[in-house]
Amino acid sequence: MTEQGAPRPTSRRTTGVTRQPLLLVDELTTGLSRLMNVHDAARLVLGLLYLSRTAHTDSPTSVAPTWSWLSHQAAKDGPITSAVSQCLHRWLTLPDDGGSRTGMQDVVPFLPPNIDSLLRRLIRAIDAAQQVGDLLDQCLQNLSAAQARGSQYFTPRDIARLMIGVSVPQDGHRVLDPACGSGGLLAESHRYVHEKVGLNPTMSLVGKEQHAHTSQVARMNLAVRGIGARIAPPGDSLARPETGSSYDVVLANLPFNQPAWAAEGLAGLPYVDPRWPDGPPPRGTANSAWILHIAHALAPQGRAAFLMADIAAKSPQPATRSLREQLVGDDIVECVIALPPRVFGTSDATACLWVLNRDKSARSDWGTIDRRGEVLFINARRAFELIPDSRARQLGDRHSERILATLSTWRGMVEENSADVPHRDEAGWCRSCTTEEIARRSYDLMPTTYAATPPGQQEATRSRIDELKRDLADKLGQVHALEPRLLEALKEI
């Protein structure tokens, strides 16, 4: 998904832009965020990246501004804000069903009057970049960090790659993300298949996002990468079931414990929603509604991978327990993975990655082991690494690969030139359970219930913590003992 290209040699048009574009654009974004809010600054940079790859041609009779025109304006002295605003309004707003460009004007960020110099340098820097993949990724990372303060964030790349890896999209598949955010999961599924087939995939990618600003970000993200996808008009996916054909793969980073959701009915007519024929799930939280929404969208051999708060896997509430009983009874739960805390977003809330599969039987295009009537649980709570120079965490490639290898072995998906090693349960890491055992445990789907950390490992962890505490106390004691000598030495200076 990331492209790294060397900057073009300095030319008359790019004079003054000699530094690596990624660093310069990041610096300019920081400068913009001092004059406008961080969210709008990131969207502005993303919009200009989008313009640099799309605003080139229009109808023969149109006089709409193009990127070349904007670059020419940036090379001149004088105000540039008006020209940027003109381009953004022309290329970022979307026509409604009647062809007019109404209702989307607010997706263009407001440009304060004192940013001409930064805008000019930003346009030149983008113009100097041969490939904009890294610029785009950095911009989305900045935007996600800004939104995380309000508990909104885009799926981190390592988590996205894990979700694609467990769902295994293939060429020709229909892929849906009903809460698509920036479109990152759709872009990652396209990258995954592209690497497998070596050609441009013939996939059908569909996304929907509730918020207009974020829906626009998804369109721009995919368009800049040259990925064909259909991003539906902004709206709440839970309001109505997905229409049209079912999907081979459904991917979703869902809003955890979303309150006050409501299904939409047909005005004046009785309406039975096919997602919940026995009545809608509880209104207090949307967790159950999202799971049923995703399950309903799956094709007969469809698979889904989605993030969900722990409470959905273990809550004793009758409605939530009944949902788990229904899913296990239908035998579509394939794997549940307990993820480490704080590897996505900024919350300490823990979550699981759920994997649903409508057909767990052995087949030639899938795995060699019939896993009907079984569920794999993976306890990856401690599978994380610290991000250097930061308190943040990430899953990391090493842990992702271990999770994928465990699931692939359990499925019997043998890679070419690799040994056919049978699955073995591993204490504290993974366990394969029958649906009968899950039923005996009140349909608990929490991986830590089945693949709990062995008592010996827990004691070893406590012992190591106690050892570190003693070491810290010793060091602090040494510092305290040296303090008088240090003060005496300072007096002599």
The verdict on residue 13 lying in a domain is: no
pLDDT digits (tens, 9 = 90+) for 149-199: 544 566 888 999 999 999 999 999 999 999 998 899 999 999 999 998 888
Say if residues 375 and 364 touch (Cβ distance below 8 Å): no
Q: Inform me whether the pLDDT recorded for 267 exceeds 60.
A: no
Same domain, 136 and 172: no
Nearest to 80 by CA among 40, 123, 38: 123
The verdict on residue 14 lying in a domain is: no
Predicted confidence at residue 31, as pLDDT, reads: 81
Extended beta strands in 183-269, E state: 204-207, 230-231, 247-253
Instruction: Select from 144, 161, 177 the last residue of a domain.
Output: 144
Residue 100 — very low, low, confident or very high, per pLDDT cuts 50/70/90? Answer: very low
Choose between 325 and 136: higher pLDDT. 325
Number of compact structural domains in the chain: 3
Instruction: Select from 123, 144, 165 the last residue of a domain.
Output: 144
Same domain, 58 and 170: no
Q: In degrees rounded to 5, what are phi and psi of residue 12?
A: -60, -35
Same domain, 137 and 184: no
Same domain, 48 and 196: no
Which residues constitute the domain of residue 126?
Answer: 21-144
Same domain, 88 and 182: no
Q: Inform me whether the pLDDT recorded for 98 exceeds 50.
A: no
pLDDT digits (tens, 9 = 90+) for 231-262: 999 989 998 888 767 999 999 999 888 887 87
Per the structure block, which two tokens stand in for 438?
């899950």
Same domain, 219 and 365: yes
Residue 95 — very low, low, confident or very high, per pLDDT cuts 50/70/90? Answer: very low
Per the structure block, which two tokens stand in for 365?
């295009």
Buried/exposed 303-341: b ≥16 CB within 10 Å, e otherwise: bbbbbbbbbbbbbeeeebeebbebbbeebbbbbbbbbbe
Per the structure block, which two tokens stand in for 488?
């005496």
- Edge to edge, the sheet with strand 298-309 lists 230-231, 204-207, 174-177, 247-253, 298-309, 351-357, 333-338, 374-379, 430-434
Distances (CA, A) of 173 to 87, 167, 202, 391: 36, 11, 8, 39
Q: Which amino acid is at 152?
A: Q
Instruction: Select from 102, 118, 144 the last residue of a domain.
Output: 144
Same domain, 125 and 191: no
Same domain, 432 and 481: no
The verdict on residue 46 lying in a domain is: yes
Dist CA 470 CA 87 (whole Å): 63
Q: Inform me whether the pLDDT recorded for 62 exceeds 70.
A: no
CATH number assigned to the domain comprising residue 389: 3.40.50.150
The verdict on residue 16 lying in a domain is: no
Same domain, 362 and 479: no
Same domain, 39 and 182: no
The verdict on residue 284 lying in a domain is: yes
pLDDT digits (tens, 9 = 90+) for 410-466: 999 876 545 578 899 999 999 999 999 999 999 999 999 999 877 765 555 555 565
The verdict on residue 131 lying in a domain is: yes
The verdict on residue 493 lying in a domain is: yes
Same domain, 56 and 110: yes
CB atoms within 10 A of CB 205: 25
Same domain, 92 and 220: no
Predicted confidence at residue 243, as pLDDT, reads: 74
Q: Inform me whether the pLDDT recorded for 274 exceeds 70.
A: yes
The verdict on residue 197 lying in a domain is: yes
